[in-house]
Amino acid sequence: MAADLTPPVPRQAYGEAADGRDGVYVALRGGYNSLDDSVYNFNNVTAPVAFTTKATTSYRSGYAYSGALGYDFGEFTPGFGSRIEVEVGQFSNKVRGQTLSTSLGTATSFSGNQVSGTTNATTGLVNYYVDALLGPFKPFATLGLGVTSVNFSNHLAAGNSLINSTRVSWAWSGGGGIGYDITDNITLEAAYRYLELRDVQVTSAAGTNSKINLRNQQATLGVRVRF
């Protein structure tokens, strides 16, 4: 009986992409963001409203953008791949309104040209991704953890300063989206992300300290290029 001389097919190693596309990539992303209201404390400030103890700030929609350097580990189990990346991004939102609550139980709102200011955040995240490998379409889910620098820039109401400070804190994110391979090395993506900036210390113009959480939602388009 003749021996079978067919060479064995080598087993795919863990982390090796079936299509050979594992490796380093860079990504650029940009789009829309929405920032939830922020609430911080005062200590019976007299202007622009007497006995103010709390300020609630609402924001206009703004922009978000980021750049990332990552590594694609390829297919770790049939039909699914994983990636990890370091991302630096920024979002910015202008103040839309201020509501000042007092120790007397009253509240006064300011808007339009009565208010000004911007809240900006620069965030560095380490993101982990799981991709579903469906041909050129690759839906994904992601979680991220990192640090952030938040700048409350010249928040004013009726010409009176409410807050103007910068603080460093920590952040986490979660989201998902879908990628589409237009070539072997270039992927377009559309994504949604929830980003929460935790325990941000805020010092009001009156010197009162608060710790707040800023909740941000982003919808972005992006491109990834593999090397």
Residue range 53-101, pLDDT digits in tens: 999 999 999 999 999 999 999 999 999 999 999 999 999 999 999 999 9
Residue recorded with tokens 């339009």: 112
Structure tokens at 153: 């820039």
Compare 42 and 146 and report the one with higher pLDDT. 146
Residue with tokens 């990834």: 224
Of the options 2.40.10.120, 3.30.1130.10, 2.40.128.90, 3.30.465.10, the CATH number for the domain spanning 23-226: 2.40.128.90
Q: Would you state the pLDDT for residue 118?
A: 98
> Count H helices, E strands: the chain?
0, 11
Coil, helix or strand for 113? helix
**Residue pLDDT, tens place only, 161-173:** 999 999 999 999 9
Q: Per-domain residue ranges for the chain? A: 23-226
Contact at 8 Å (CB) between 174 and 217? Answer: no
The DSSP code sequence of 81-126 is EEEEEEEEEEEEEEEEEEEEEETTS-EEEEEGGGEEEEEEEEEEEE
pLDDT at position 10: 47
pLDDT digits (tens, 9 = 90+) for 182-195: 999 999 999 999 99
Greatest Cα-to-Cα distance within the chain, rounded to the nearest angstrom: 101
Q: Which residues pair with 35 in a beta bridge?
A: 216
On the 0-12 / 13-18 / 19+ scale of CB atoms within 10 A, 46 is: exposed
pLDDT at 20 over 80: no
Percentage of residues of the chain with pLDDT beyond 90 = 81
What's the mean pLDDT in 143-170?
A: 95
Q: Is the pTM of this model over 0.85?
A: yes
pLDDT at 154 over 90: yes
pLDDT at 11 over 50: no
